[in-house]
Amino acid sequence: MKASARDRLIIALDVGTRAEAISLALTLAPFAGWMKIGLQLFTAEGPDLVRAIRETGANVFLDLKLYDIPNTVARTVESVAGLDAQMLSLHLSGGGEMVRAAVAAAPEDLLLLGVTVLTSANSETLREVGMLEDVLRQVVRLAEIGADCGIGGIVASAREIAALRKAVGESLKLVTPGIRLRGSEEHDQKRIMTPAEAIAAGADYLVTGRPITAAPDPIIAARKIVEEIETCVFRTDRD
Ligand code: C5P
């Protein structure tokens, strides 16, 4: 039996205040078991907000995308350990020594996620910063570093799941942002997939923000996405 749509959906709370974040978390609780706190909200409201979101009943993905020298990253992971977040992200492009330091510092109940190539990036973005590898190759290369260093999960586009499963196996959790309903606005995301496509490809968790949080009615938008995930989970469950 696969995890339910609610267990797999992570809402990106990309808002600027505690009041907006808590209101969204409460409104969207029937649809998503996970709330993601990113740099905007964490910078504005600080660690207390993690506890406040936990009190709504949600699991928390603290999306800090750590990238620094190994010691700084490891000490930051220790600070996060006291916050009762269930997931924390770091950039795999920080390299193996940094990732190993983070893994060594993480408590067992904190799932460390390695970000590969941001879903807002494409091959031109990589070329601009001097990376000549194509996106898929770079995603797989970074994921392999993560797997070798004992990371718990990988963040990538759902488009890369087949290659990732081949490279790192079934045990790592695959978390996929860049989720858009067919025909809806892409915003700054480039490597997008629909909820159904991401589930069919084998994503463990789907991250979505603006399609729900910026919708005229977030409940209607969330319901649509959950229905699409449910239909697809049901179908893949029978296979
Ligand atoms: O609004 P939207 O659905 O584009 O939000 C996606 C969220 O996922 C944002 O909070 C963004 O920071 C995050 N994210 C991403 N790509 C990654 C990792 C995280 O878009 N590779």
137 lines ligand 1 (CB under 6 A): no
Which residue minimizes the CA distance to atom 10 of ligand 1?
Answer: 12
Q: Is the confidence at residue 1, as pLDDT, over 80?
A: no
List, for residues 21-47, the tens digit of each pLDDT value.
999 999 999 999 999 999 999 999 999
Cα–ligand 1 centroid distance for 178 (angstroms)? 6
Residues annotated catalytic, as ranges: 65
List, for residues 174-232, the tens digit of each pLDDT value.
999 999 999 999 999 999 999 999 999 999 999 999 999 999 999 999 999 999 999 88
Beta strands at 59-66 and 34-37: parallel, antiparallel or unpaired = parallel
Distance CA 20, CA 181 (A): 24
Which residue minimizes the CA distance to atom 9 of ligand 1?
Answer: 12
Distance CA 146, CA 130 (A): 22
Query: Please, what is the average pLDDT of the chain?
Result: 96
> Which residues, at least 6 apart from 113, have a Cβ–Cβ distance to it below 8 Å?
61, 87, 88, 89, 90, 151, 152, 153, 154, 155, 173, 175
Q: Is the confidence at residue 2, as pLDDT, over 90?
A: no
152 lines ligand 1 (CB under 6 A): no
Q: Which CATH architecture has domain 5-238?
A: Alpha-Beta Barrel (3.20)
Q: Please report the atom of ligand 1 found closest to the CA of residue 118.
A: 21
Cα–ligand 1 centroid distance for 145 (angstroms)? 22
Q: Please report the atom of ligand 1 found closest to the CA of residue 12.
A: 10
209 lines ligand 1 (CB under 6 A): yes
208 lines ligand 1 (CB under 6 A): yes
List, for residues 54-76, the tens digit of each pLDDT value.
999 999 999 999 999 999 999 99
Ligand 1 probe mutation, 207, 213, 225, most atoms within 8 A of CB: 207
Tokens of 231: 């239909």
Taking a C-beta distance cutoff of 8 angstroms, is the pair 33, 230 a contact? no
Enumerate the β-bridge partners of residue 228: none
| pLDDT score at 231 | 87
